[in-house]
């Protein structure tokens, strides 16, 4: 094929189930373009052909009204015989799918930069009322200069009867669809936020959140199941990453983030809460060491699996998660039983200490269970104790009970003064007055019980990067301090927030006394400025300071006002003033005059 419409084909860029993407030249203006094609004659059903044709028109109309540096520009749309095509901006660079398939993983800074640029472009489209509906790594292109471009905007919502094609492909990629989309429900911008969360999950862990061999199983997982916690696949990620991703991947759209930028900003802070975090390449989690060794695994069982064959690893992870949960519940139950046992022991100790023991006078003969005792009741004040009749028994050797000591009775010695009579053995039929305890005696003092460790207060040391941030504990203004600082807090759950001019707000939840060292990472409030010139290759000065890059170039700048100056030999210099805001993307185009 040499021509499509007026465009001269120069080569093939990629090929899919429904069509081919070519590199072509527009001879009218000498511009290199990408031609995306789809053959309609492979489908016998006229309704399906009409539906696919409408999809292409929707894509052209949707992307045609979006003018953003992060979105591929649409130039033309047409049909030649049974071949429909779209002419669009040619982007020289690999797709995110190709980058993720490399053995060498992307570094953390690059991952966050790509996600932030994607978020800015998607939010821009949402503000224009356009929903992508098919976000996936294959539709994200990273140019040689690092600028991220999103393509394939405006895929129409597909009825269930048209989802499966004759070639077994689904329009729109199910692995990156939201629950409401796979169920055929109405979708809005929050569906794209779910898809962006799936892409972020894969970029961080090297694995797709939902994987299945059969489409019904995959749909069920997306609608009903939660993905494995990210830190189980990538141990360098903190638990904060799971909290952020879980919110972006909520089944109910109302529970997700309001914008993509809000989501990625929270994800950046969560990732940076762990100083040594790093993304994993695809399939890397399969070769990580496991906690429990199984006898049925062969030495090469993990390494021999195909990267896409994730059914068995996911079942193993679910089993390990179940075992860990059972161990946690058993531990909690054991702690509860131990705590109750100690409480009963404490109560028993208090009762036996508060009631002093009394040794009664015994009479009678020994029995298998010990001597038969007759206890004399106490006498009321001013009265003599009534005699107690001994139980009838045969003559036998009498049992003598010695006088209990003051320490045994828990009484003061001064209250044990006798009436001058000595205790003598008793014989059957005789009575003996019982020893009288002091009327106003007090039990021994009981030492205060120490509270469990989880109720103890502790001194919490807080540091931030960078230091000097204003720190507030539990939203209480009286606890304000400047990091690094410390505060003594009672046991339990606490919150801490940090703010610093030029940096984004940071927030964290921690437990006392478990967490006595708390660290908060503050990210700079930055925006991006893209500088383009015609012709390219111009030098760039920002606030009078020359930069190494020449046009075209993209700069990340802290919030503030900047003067951008352009210089090129043989052309007049030009400059503009820009006001950079947080998460903003500013595109400056200069037409240099000679």
Q: So which residues are the catalytic ones?
A: 134
C-alpha 176/C-alpha 184 separation (Å) is 14
For residue 418, the Cα-to-chain-centroid distance in whole angstroms is 77
Peptide bond into 20 cis (omega under 30): no
Sole residue written with tokens 């010990």: 370
**What is the 3-class SS of 198-237, one letter each residue?**
HHHHHHHHCCCCCCCCCHHHHHHHHHHCCCCCHHHHCCCC
In the block, tokens 């429900």 appear at 185
The 10 Å CB-count burial string (b at 16+, else e) for 44-54 is: eeeebbebbee
Q: 306 is written with which tokens?
A: 């195909």
Would residue 202 be called left, alpha or beta, if left means φ above 0 and alpha means ψ between -120 and 50 degrees?
A: alpha
For residues 575 and 567, the answer to whether their CB atoms sit within 8 Å is no
The residues, any chain, with a CB within 8 Å of residue 299's CB and separated by 6 or more, are none
CB contact at 8 A, 540 and 546? yes
Radius of gyration of the chain (CA): 40
C-alpha pair distances (Å), 242 with each of 45, 204, 237, 277, 315 = 45, 11, 8, 14, 20
DSSP type of residue 161: G
Question: Would you call the peptide bond into 552 cis, given omega within 30 degrees of 0 as the criterion?
Answer: yes
């Amino acid at each position: 094929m040499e021509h499509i419409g007026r465009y001269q084909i120069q080569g093939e860029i990629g090929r899919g189930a429904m069509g081919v993407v070519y590199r072509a030249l527009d001879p009218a203006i000498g511009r290199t373009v990408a031609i995306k094609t789809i053959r309609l004659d492979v489908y016998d059903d006229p309704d399906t052909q009409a539906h696919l044709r409408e999809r292409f028109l929707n894509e052209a109309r949707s992307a045609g009204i979006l003018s953003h540096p992060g979105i591929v520009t649409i130039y033309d749309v047409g049909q030649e015989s049974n071949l429909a095509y779209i002419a669009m901006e040619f982007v020289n660079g690999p797709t995110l799918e190709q980058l993720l398939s490399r053995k060498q993983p992307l570094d953390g800074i690059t991952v966050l930069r790509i996600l932030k640029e994607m978020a800015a472009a998607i939010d821009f489209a949402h503000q224009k009322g356009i929903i992508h509906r098919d976000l996936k790594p294959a539709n994200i292109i990273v140019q040689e200069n690092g600028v991220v471009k999103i393509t394939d905007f405006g895929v129409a919502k597909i009825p269930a009867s048209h989802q499966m094609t004759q070639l077994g492909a689904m329009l729109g990629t199910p692995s990156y669809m939201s629950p409401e989309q796979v169920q055929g429900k109405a979708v809005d911008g929050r569906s794209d936020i779910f898809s962006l969360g799936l892409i972020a999950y894969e970029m961080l862990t090297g694995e797709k959140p939902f994987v299945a061999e059969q489409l019904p199983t995959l749909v069920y997982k997306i609608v009903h199941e939660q993905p494995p916690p990210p830190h189980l696949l990538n141990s360098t990620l903190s638990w904060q990453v799971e909290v952020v991703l879980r919110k972006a991947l909520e089944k109910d759209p109302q529970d997700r983030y309001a914008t993509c930028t809000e989501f990625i900003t929270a994800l950046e802070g969560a990732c940076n809460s762990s100083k040594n975090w790093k993304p994993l390449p695809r399939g890397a989690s399969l070769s990580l060491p496991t906690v429990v060794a199984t006898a049925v695994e062969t030495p090469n069982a993990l390494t021999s699996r195909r990267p896409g064959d994730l059914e068995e690893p996911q079942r193993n992870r679910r089993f390990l998660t179940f075992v860990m949960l059972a161990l946690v519940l058993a531990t909690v139950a054991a702690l509860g039983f131990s705590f109750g046992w100690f409480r009963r022991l404490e109560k028993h100790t208090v009762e036996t200490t508060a009631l002093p023991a009394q040794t009664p006078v015994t009479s009678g003969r020994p029995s298998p269970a010990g001597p038969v005792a007759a206890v004399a009741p106490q006498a009321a004040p001013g009265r003599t104790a009534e005699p107690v009749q001994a139980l009838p028994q045969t003559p036998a050797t009498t049992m003598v009970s010695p006088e209990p000591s003051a320490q045994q009775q828990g009484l003061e010695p001064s209250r044990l003064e006798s009436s001058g009579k000595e205790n003598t053995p008793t014989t059957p039929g005789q009575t003996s007055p019982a020893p009288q305890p002091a009327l106003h005696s007090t039990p021994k003092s009981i030492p205060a019980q120490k509270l469990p460790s989880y109720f103890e207060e502790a001194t919490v040391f807080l540091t931030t990067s960078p230091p000097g941030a204003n720190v507030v504990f539990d939203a209480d203004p009286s606890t304000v301090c400047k990091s690094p600082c410390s505060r003594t807090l009672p046991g339990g759950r606490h919150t801490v927030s940090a703010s610093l001019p030029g940096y984004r707000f940071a927030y964290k939840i921690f437990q006392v006394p478990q967490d006595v060292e708390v660290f908060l990472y503050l990210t700079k409030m930055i925006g991006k400025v893209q500088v383009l010139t015609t012709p390219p290759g111009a030098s760039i000065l920002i606030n009078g300071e020359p930069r190494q890059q020449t046009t075209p170039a993209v700069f990340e700048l802290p919030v503030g006002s900047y003067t951008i100056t352009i210089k090129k030999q043989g052309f007049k210099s030009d400059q503009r003033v820009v006001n950079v805001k947080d998460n903003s993307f500013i595109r400056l185009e200069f037409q240099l005059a000679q």
